[in-house]
Amino acid sequence: MPQPALDFIAADARLTGDADQNALQLSASDDALSVPLAGVQAVHLWFARFTDGRAYSQAVQLRRRGFAGPIVACGDVLADQALMLARCGFSHAQLRADQSLAVAQRQLTHFAALPGWYQADPTPAAVAHPVAPWLAQTPAQTAV
């Protein structure tokens, strides 16, 4: 299975980026289904607390709407969320300042020996291939 990809952004980086980049900032209570996406280059989703999982659903909804640009996790984002973030369609995470980048990167590898997940994830790749790829594999091909 290709390892889930997630790029980590320094905690003190300015997320608004270049002046010409149209980055949309959503709060956890914003409706990701109705927000206009025309011309939007990136979406920043906000975790007020890492235990508040609304942004996961927002990211899934944005990907299902076909949004292909960067989706960035901001706020109280922990290294241990890395895998969930990547699988929900986030492309970037700005970790809380006290978090270890090495730990976060390691979180992406815990299931790397497996050929897939129990779910078909809403990453851009999964949208193109909606069936979990490992389902078609024979047991002999399944890495253990």
Partner 1 sequence: MYTYTDFDRAFVRARAAQFRDQLERHLSGALSDDDFRPLRLQMGWYVQRHAPMLRVAVPYGCLDARQLRALARVAREFDQPSAEVYAPALAQQLARGTPHLPTGVAHLSTRQNVQFNWIALDRAADVMDVLAEADLHGIQTSGNCIRSITSDALAGIAPDEVVDARPYCELLRQWSTLNPEFSALPRKFKIALSAAAEDRAALAWHDIGLHLRRDAQGQVGAQVRVGGGMGRTPIIAPVLADFVPWTQWPAFIQAIVRVYNLWGRRDNAYKARIKILLRAEGERFAQAVQAEFARILLADPGATFSPAELARVQAQFAPPTPTESAQTATENVAPEWTVPERRAFDRWLAHNVHAHRDPQLAAVTLSLKRPGWAPGDASADLLDAAADLADRYSRSRLRITHSQDLLLPWVRRSDLPALWRAARSLRLAQPAAGVLHDFITCPGGDLCALANARTLPLAEALLQRYQDMDELEDLGPIALHVSGCMNSCGHHHSGHIGVLGVDKDGREWYQVALGGSDGRTLGGPAQPARVIGPAFAASEVPEVIEALLETYRTLRQPGEPFIASVRRLGLAPFAAAADAARHETRHPHAHLGAQPGAQAELAEAAF
Decide if residue 130 touches partner 1 (CB under 8 A): yes
Q: d(Cα 54, Cα 73) in Å, to the nearest integer?
A: 11
Q: For partner 1, give the closer residue by CB, 8 or 67.
A: 67
Closest CA to 80 of 96, 57, 58: 96
Q: For partner 1, give the closer residue by CB, 16 or 137.
A: 137
Q: d(Cα 1, Cα 86) in Å, to the nearest integer?
A: 14
Decide if residue 33 touches partner 1 (CB under 8 A): yes
Given 100, 101, 124, 125, the residue binding partner 1 (CB under 8 A):
100
User: How many other β-carbons are positioned within 10 Å of the β-carbon of residue 26?
Assistant: 20
Q: d(Cα 96, Cα 124) in Å, to the nearest integer?
A: 26
Smallest gap from Cβ 97 to partner 1, in A, equals: 13
* Residue span binding partner 1 (CB under 8 A) among the ranges 9-17, 38-46, 67-75, 101-109: 101-109
Decide if residue 2 touches partner 1 (CB under 8 A): no
